[in-house]
Amino acid sequence: MTIQQARNTAPRRAVPALAATREATSGPAIYRAALALLISAMVILATITTAEQARAQSTPPATFADLVDQVGDSVVNITTSAIVAGRQGGPGPMVPEGSPLEDFFNEFLDRQNPERAPRRSQALGSGFVISEDGYIVTNNHVIEGADEIIIEFRAGFELEAEIIGTDPNTDIALLKVEADAPLPFVPFGDSEAMRVGDWVMAMGNPLGQGFSVSVGIVSASGRALSGTYDDYIQTDAAINRGNSGGPLFNLAGEVIGVNTAILSPTGGSIGIGFAMSSEVVTNVVDQLREFGETRRGWLGVRIQDVSPDIAEGLGLEEARGALVTDVPEGPAAEGGVEVGDVILAFDGEEIADTRELVRIVGDSAEGQTVRLLVFRDGDTQTLRVTLGRRETAEGAGATTPDGAPIAPASSEVLGMDLVPLTDEMRDRLGVQSIAGGLVVEAVDPASDAAAKGLQPGDVIAEVAQQPVADVAAFRERVETATENGQKSILLLIRRGGDPRFVALSLED
């Protein structure tokens, strides 16, 4: 009897026993018990699988050669060239501009002084193929300003690339080549799953030496350098000039970062390299591929972090979220967001600080309607806001103060000499939208106001989240807050067009 035959005959012999069991017990109860047992087994199996995957990710192989063979052909060297203008100037004092002899003398002077002549400049970088039809990811700074981009493949052939789109905010660019056959490519991985200490492998074209591999670990995650949308993985895998735009792989051969920058006093690798996380890159690449540009969501608020003293001044139990300092005309204003609101959650995701809110909003789609959980007047409420598009909705910055002295007599409160805001001051300080307001004329260097960064020319628009027009009202609110046992009082400050909240201590 074969195994297949045994499987076919066994159920027929078991039927009488099964029938007897059904008569003796409740059928539904048995089925429920069996289903629960099956679910438990599946959970245990999934847990074991996840644990095995985690161990595989953190355990280095005996050699990285197999991984190199798996992904190496998808990594490319990039050479760009551009015409750089030479030294400017006319043909010389003896030849008037526009003269028939101008070209002759320019050619002669270019031969005598090559610095005058335009020249072709070349730059090197790295990239990687993400689809068999020839889409390639690299850094924007690798190809910026180039009029020719040549892609060199590990197999030895070269193709010219065109730019599909760029995003200077994340330093990501998407290129495209046309090949006669499908190209080897690599997938993106989950950068959020990477842990500090996990192994990673960097590939690229360091210092123009050609295809090169380096190995290290994740040194840190969530690093911010200077950009609004920064989310860098820090690694000690060697990254040098020419590695820019190359991939950072996990041990599964997935791209979890795009090598972008290094921190170095010498210009060479000292073990502090940064790769933009795939969490950011995939969203950018998808938009560049679809639209040729990024289309980030725009909420339309100015915000600042919530410090512990600001949280105390607002009556917020925990110092988290993004404090709204200004709501110009736009999506947030239409959705009912107000100055002084603390945004605690964005579409169900808790907000820790302003950086997290900016990143989440930027990752959201234009036209998407989201739910904002805000803290206002001691309670929370939910608002619905339809996002605009950041790239087209942001206006020009406001004017800055000119620093001219302020004439009216002042009164001192909390270490600040204050005067009422006049129409002439509004124009000069760039705060035309403020109806009342007080202007800081001087700040006591030993005061908490000085410690919090207030300076002459700042405009106090609100005290305790209420508009203020004169010094007497300011003093009255300070007295009320002190009587209520508050340790600090919240001020809304405008410096030029830039608003921010400051909590000043009420304790001696």
DSSP 318-387: SS-SEEEEE--TTHHHHTT--TT-EEEEETTEE--SHHHHHHHHHHSBTT-EEEEEEEETTEEEEEEEE-
Rounded CA-CA distance 39/452 in Å is 57
Of 147, 176, 205, the last residue of a domain is 176
- Kindly state the tokens that stand for 347: 């579409």
Based on the domain organization, do 364 and 304 belong to the same domain? yes
- Return the CATH number at 259: 2.40.10.10
Residues 466, 498 within the same domain: yes
pLDDT at 7: 32
Tokens of 203: 């590939």
- Domain final position from 359, 393, 427: 393
Average pLDDT, the chain: 80
Query: What's the token pair of residue 206?
Result: 């360091």
Mean pLDDT of 486-493: 87
Helices (H) and strands (E) in the chain, counts: 13, 28
The answer on 171 and 124 residing in a single domain is yes
Supply 252's token pair.
């599964």
User: Do 278 and 343 belong to one domain?
Assistant: no
| DSSP code for 117 | S
pLDDT of residue 74 exceeding 80, the answer is yes
Rounded to an integer, what distance in angstroms lies between the CA atom of residue 169 and that of residue 367?
A: 21
Most confident of 9-23, 350-364, 427-441: 350-364
Cα(442)–Cα(122) distance, integer angstroms: 54
Single residue among 393, 424, 442 that ends a domain in this structure: 393
Give the strand pairing for 302-305 and 297-298: unpaired
Q: Is residue 27 very low, low, confident or very high in pLDDT (cuts 50, 70, 90)?
A: low
Tokens representing 471 are: 């010094």
Residue 211 lies in a domain: yes
Cβ 351 vs Cβ 303: under 8 Å? no
pLDDT tens digits along 325-348: 888 888 999 999 999 999 999 999
Are 260 and 308 part of one and the same domain?
no
**Residue 501: inside a domain, yes or no?**
yes
> Looking at the domain assignment, is residue 376 inside a domain?
yes
Tell me the pTM: 0.63
Measured CA to CA, the distance from residue 463 to residue 467 in angstroms comes to 6
Q: What backbone phi and psi angles, to 5 degrees, belong to 305?
A: -70, 155
pLDDT value at 96 more than 50: no
Number of domains observed in the structure of the chain: 4
CATH number for the domain that contains residue 448: 2.30.42.10
Rounded Cα distance between 443 and 482, Å, is 21
Q: pLDDT class for 382, splitting at 50, 70, 90?
A: very high
pLDDT for res 51: 46
How high is the pLDDT of residue 370? 94
Specify the pLDDT at position 429. Answer: 78
Residue 184 sits at the vertex; the CA angle it makes with 183 and 188, to the nearest 5 degrees, is 120
Closest CA to 195 of 219, 167, 176: 219
In a domain, 244, yes or no: yes
pLDDT of residue 142: 92
pLDDT in tens, 408-423: 445 788 888 888 887 7
**CB–CB of 130/136 below 8 Å?**
yes
Together in a domain, 80 and 128: yes
Query: Crossing angle of helices 278-291/354-363, nearest 10°?
Result: 30
* Residues 313, 372 within the same domain: yes
Residue 449 lies in a domain: yes
Nearest residue to 201 (alpha-carbon basis) of 239, 272, 250:
250
Residues with catalytic function:
141, 171, 244
Give the whole-angstrom CA distance, residue 229 versus residue 359. 6
State the pLDDT at residue 202: 96
Highest mean pLDDT among 7-11, 213-217, 408-412, 480-484: 213-217
Location of structure tokens 């129409």: 423
Q: What are phi and psi of 342, to 5 degrees?
A: -110, 115
More confident residue, 98 or 208: 208
Same domain, 345 and 263: no
The reply to whether 333 and 362 lie within a common domain is yes
Asked whether residue 40 is domain-assigned, the answer is no
Host domain of residue 111:
71-90+104-176
Arithmetic mean of pLDDT, 390-414: 52
Q: Is the pLDDT of residue 477 over 50?
A: yes
Burial letters for 76-105: b for 16+ Cβ neighbours within 10 Å, e otherwise? bbbbbebeeeeeeeebeeeeeeeeeeeeee
Residue 200 and residue 170 share a domain: no
Q: In three state form, how does the secondary structure of 121-157 look? A: EEEEEEEEECCCCCEEEEEHHHHCCCCEEEEEECCCC
Q: Are residues 219 and 155 in the same domain?
A: no
> For every residue of 210-222, which 3-state class applies, written as one string?
CCEEEEEEEEEEE
- Alpha carbon distance 237, 219 (integer Å): 9
Spatial neighbors of 356 by CB under 8 A, at least 6 apart, are: 322
| 21: helix, strand or coil | helix
94 band by pLDDT with thresholds 50, 70 and 90: very low
304 vs 44, which has greater pLDDT?
304
* Of 47-51, 395-399, 499-503, the least confident: 395-399
- Per DSSP, the three-state class of 76 is strand
Evaluate if residue 426 carries a pLDDT over 50: yes
Residue 174's pLDDT is 97
Confidence of residue 245 (pLDDT cuts 50, 70, 90): very high
Q: Is residue 56 part of a domain?
A: no
CA 254, CA 252: separation in Å to the nearest integer? 6
Q: Which residue has the tokens 């600080």?
A: 353
- The answer to whether residues 259 and 206 belong to one domain is yes
Q: Is the pLDDT of residue 11 over 50?
A: no
Judge whether residue 5 has pLDDT over 70. Answer: no
The predicted-structure confidence for 159-201, as pLDDT tens digits, reads as follows: 999 999 999 889 999 999 999 999 999 999 999 999 999 999 9
Residue 495: CA atoms inside 13 Å, Cβ hemisphere, count? Answer: 12
Beta strands in 54-190 (DSSP E): 75-84, 119-129, 135-139, 148-153, 158-160, 162-167, 172-176
The percent of residues in the chain predicted with pLDDT above 70, rounded, is: 76
Structural domain includes residue 282: yes
